[in-house]
A and B are shown apart, each in its own frame.
Chain A
Amino acid sequence: MSDTNQLLEEITGSEYKYGWTTNIDTETAPKGINAEVIRFISQKKNEPTWMLELRLKAFRHWLTLEEPRHWAKIQYPAINFNDIIYFAAPKPKKQLKNLNEVDPELLKTFEKLGISLEEQKRLSGVESSIAVDAVIDSVSVKTTFKEVLAEKGIIFCSFSEAVQEHPELVKEYMGSVVPYTDNFYAALNAAVFSDGSFCYVPKGVRCPMELSTYFRINSAGTGQFERTLIIADEGAYVSYLEGCTAPKRDENQLHAAVVEIVAHKNAEVKYSTVQNWYPGDKDGKGGIYNFVTKRGICIGNNSKISWTQVETGSAITWKYPSVILKGDNSIGEFYSVAVTNNLQQADTGTKMTHIGKNTRSTIVSKGISAGKSNNSYRGLVRINKGAHNARNFSQCDSLLMGDKCGAHTFPYIEIKDKSAIVEHEATTSKIGEDQLFYCNQRGIETEKAIGLIVNGYCKEVLNQLPMEFAVESQKLLAVSLEGSVG
């Protein structure tokens, strides 16, 4: 054990692969937040008046709120909201011929990130492809496979475009799940949100490919405030993926997103995140503050929303992807792996609100802490009066590596209906010396062994991810824990 502790002391922090910057001209809003800046953003996006009005309303509300700093188990210095640039858009080097043309510099950026913006038609057909909406700083630079999807009536575009092209849908649904009054960061987001993705799957349509958004922060001093809205109409199905990275910087950058999902009768939405924002260095310098509000509503009967997240990045992660189970027989799921190393902090979990009858929710959370990090699960299961026969099963496991990190579990349960069955299981374990030795004895070195054991530990969650993401995540987990031996 003493030797492993020594190894622990030598934590080098994982090599963050995505820490580079693209050298592009950017157009930015002046630093700080005020009505002028909000008008600037709205004008840049050529928004209709109703959208600007909405932003300003949210902004005025935000001014009355205080930054929530105390209830979550995270620590950071107060954020100076006037020291942030709220809008940054890459400026193309030359005049582009048409809307579909993308600055080659940006194409290269995404290529380097392993994201293809080419619509390669594979021999096996489009089924094996993934449609991508690529967002850099405050704007979406390209959305692929739009036409193919449009043939099925599926709308997949940037949020900005949706505001222009599908105002009726945006007006109807935006803020219907996460109103700007919801919380401090939701209000801020509603005021200054930049880009994000919009997706509408019409009645009875199964989306034929995975949809995804790739978020990239590039500019210094900026915040990213994206907004995503997914609507699955009656009987529709869509699986949606989200990935994110950012350059290495000594300063902290704020990322405050809002994601809203609406599932109508018999519809199903699967939302998967692989979050790999820059986590800061081993001394806790720099990194992204990831303060995100994600919520879905199962508004129709027999609908289902499933969140899967693999959180390895960010200096601070603060998010609770939730489901409001309004329709009868609706299902909410939350599968999460949160890894913290070095001085990272994560306070994450979910909220399942049971309103309809026979509603079911499943929560599987795997927290892995290494280094001097802190990792908390915080979850609320609420069974409202009238939610007859509601069921919840929660499993919250924590894995500790070494003795300098922390794992905490805060399960809240509120039951207003006697017929409910709520089960909660929690375990805390350490990576066993005997497991590591067993691997060593078979010729597997300790670092690899940890990767293997951790991936095994998270299997239930990783199994929920689409194949390509699962493989990527396995590698990511191993890299995130490099240098941490327990």
Chain B
Amino acid sequence: MLSIKNLKAGIAGKEILKGINLEVKAGEVHAIMGPNGSGKSTLSNVLAGREDYDVSDGQVLFNKKNLLEMPPEDRAREGLFLAFQYPVEIPGVSNINFLKTALSEIRQYKGLPPLDTKEFLKLVKEKQALVEMQGSLANRSVNEGFSGGEKKRNEIFQMAMLEPTLAVLDETDSGLDIDALRIVANGVNMLRAKNRAFVVITHYQRLLDYIVPDFVHVLYNGRIVKSGTKELAMELEEKGYEWIKELAPAV
């Protein structure tokens, strides 16, 4: 589904990703861990197509298509979803209206007619229940005045609504209380499917108790320096990142 080969990218003339290799197959859940500043958000932004980043080398195939050639909206329409580490506020635009627009655009891209209002609202209800989100949040402006945790939950709600094939969750667990963490994880688990994959970026092994990953990767200094299974996450929790740093090639 997603195949990243030797991806190098940077911002403002500074190289941040120094040759990333990653294969994600349909149905899999990959966790990416790594110290602050190692390039996790950079990787998700580059995948989503944020303009500020320059890709200097490498290749990314998404469902066999060249991802890096597509504008960000087409990546989304092809089924790539990014849950932002810092979700953005859009004052005056209701969540509902925002999602209705997004869903119509995605459906149009796929040659489908927009959902009528009744169908759409039914879907909203159903997905709200999935992430146990209050109805009032759906009617408020996108993320405006939402608490940190509400914003994160809203990202998962949007993901549920848009039904992507690949979802990248950038620290969606940060700032969540224990109940919210469980709810978000439940939401993700219910969306797990044979034809859908997840890349979960997190600092905490705790999330991985709920969302059990097939693979765990450690990103350090722009490279994936170690990959393993969920036991690797426990090892990191125990030992920290010091020992990982020694695995990185000398700069």
Contacts and interface: CB of A to CB of B under 8 A. Distances in A.
B97 to A, nearest CB: 8
A116 to B, nearest CB: 26
Contacts of A435: 88-90
Contacts of B105: 443-445, 448
Given A440-B73, A453-B93, A456-B141, 13 more contacts: A435-B88, A435-B89, A437-B50, A437-B51, A439-B98, A440-B71, A441-B48, A443-B105, A443-B106, A453-B90, A456-B90, A457-B92, A459-B92
A66 interface: no
A442 interface: yes
A20 interface: no
A437 B41 CA distance: 14
B141 to A, nearest CB: 7
B188 interface: no
26 contacts: A1-B51, A433-B52, A434-B88, A435-B89, A438-B88, A439-B90, A439-B98, A441-B49, A441-B76, A441-B82, A442-B99, A442-B102, A442-B158, A442-B162, A443-B106, A444-B73, A444-B101, A445-B105, A452-B97, A453-B90, A455-B92, A456-B90, A456-B91, A456-B92, A458-B92, A459-B92
Contact of A440 (B72, B98, B109): B72
A425 interface: no
Task: For chain A, give the interface size range.
Answer: 20 to 34
A443 B76 contact: yes
Contact of A452 (B49, B50, B76, B90): B90
Contacts of B19: none
Contact of B88 (A432, A448, A460): A432
Contact of A443 (B87, B91, B93, B162): B162
A4 interface: yes
Nearest to A463: B92
A3 interface: yes
Contacts of B8: none
Contacts of A437: 48, 50-51, 72, 88
Contacts of B48: 437, 441
Contacts of A438: 84, 87-88, 90
Nearest to B83: A441
Specify which of A1, A432, A444, A446 lies most central, judged by the most chain B CB atoms within 10 Å of its CB: A444
B77 interface: yes
Nearest to B97: A452
B73 A445 contact: yes
A448 B141 CA distance: 17
A456 B91 CA distance: 6
Interface string A444-486: 1110100011011111100000000000000000000000000
Nearest to B91: A456
B98 A442 contact: yes
Interface of B: 48-52, 71-73, 75-77, 81-82, 84, 87-93, 97-99, 101-103, 105-106, 109, 141, 158, 162
A443 B73 contact: yes
Interface of A: 1, 3-4, 432-435, 437-446, 448, 452-453, 455-460
A136 to B, nearest CB: 36
Contacts of B162: 442-443
A452 B106 contact: no
A166 to B, nearest CB: 43
A459 B98 CA distance: 14
Contacts of B76: 440-443
Contacts of B77: 443
A432 B77 CA distance: 22
A459 to B, nearest CB: 4
B158 A456 contact: no
B132 to A, nearest CB: 22
A413 B57 CA distance: 59
Nearest to B89: A435
A457 B91 CA distance: 6
A127 to B, nearest CB: 24
Given A442-B98, A442-B158, A443-B73, A3 B90 contact: no
A149 to B, nearest CB: 35
Nearest to A437: B50
A452 B98 contact: yes
A446 to B, nearest CB: 8
A426 B48 CA distance: 35
Specify which of A4, A442, A453, A458 lies most central, judged by the most chain B CB atoms within 10 Å of its CB: A442
Contacts of A4: 51
A3 B71 CA distance: 12
Contacts of A439: 90, 98, 102
Nearest to B80: A441
A238 B77 CA distance: 47
A441 B49 CA distance: 8
Contacts of A459: 92
B29 to A, nearest CB: 21
Contacts of A433: 51-52
Contacts of B89: 435
3 closest Cβ pairs, A-B complex: A456-B92, A456-B93, A459-B92
A106 B33 CA distance: 70
Nearest to A462: B92
Given A440-B73, A456-B91, A1 B52 contact: yes
A368 to B, nearest CB: 13
A59 to B, nearest CB: 47
Contacts of B81: 441
A443 B84 contact: no
A441 B97 CA distance: 16
Given A434-B88, A442-B102, A443-B109, A452 B51 contact: no
A452 B101 CA distance: 9
B249 to A, nearest CB: 32
A55 B107 CA distance: 61
